[in-house]
Amino acid sequence: MLVIVVEAAPPRLRGRLAVWLLEVHAGVYIGDLSMKVREMIWRQVVAGIEDGSAVMAWSINTEQGYDFTTIGKNRRVPLELDGVKLISFLPLAGGGSANVIAGDDEENDIECGSLDTSE
């Protein structure tokens, strides 16, 4: 299984993707292709994405069952940690602090995953 999602892609790239894959929603393409064809399609995405962005995910025989790659301006960046691929978010442009907990919270000394049983 192969899934490609494009944002702000030029019409010629979207048309090229539609030759090989089924567009199930605007900018969302799916198919079941060989690794060789998948790599050829991704090279075309890289060459034609211009100012847009794209992500490609495919089935693979690993613990996660899939792998993915991205290109273009995107706050989400793939990060591999202990053999597992995760998503890391880049900070907002302009130093914005949306959804950031203030440093004066009372619970800021509790470590993630720790249980405080003293109460």
Question: pTM value?
Answer: 0.74
Residue 108 lies in a domain: no
Confidence of residue 76 (pLDDT cuts 50, 70, 90): confident
Residue 36 lies in a domain: yes
- Tokens for 52, please give them: 């847009």
From the list 109, 110, 112, 92, the residue with the least C-alpha distance to 100 is 92
Out of 23-27, 42-46, 57-61, 82-86, least confident range:
82-86
Residue 112 lies in a domain: no
Residue 29 lies in a domain: yes
pLDDT at position 112 over 70: no
From the list 78, 12, 87, the residue with the least C-alpha distance to 45 is 12
Confidence of residue 9 (pLDDT cuts 50, 70, 90): very high
Residue 119 lies in a domain: no
As for how many domains the chain has, the answer is 1
Residue 111 lies in a domain: no
Residue 30 is part of which domain span? 2-89
Which CATH number characterizes residue 13's domain?
3.30.70.240
What is the CB neighbour count within 10 angstroms for residue 83? 8
Please state the φ and ψ torsions of residue 48, each to the nearest 5 degrees. -110, 5
pLDDT at position 10 over 90: yes
Residue 60 lies in a domain: yes
pLDDT at position 70 over 70: yes
* pLDDT tens digit sequence for 32-66: 999 999 999 999 999 999 999 999 999 999 899 99
Residue 40 lies in a domain: yes
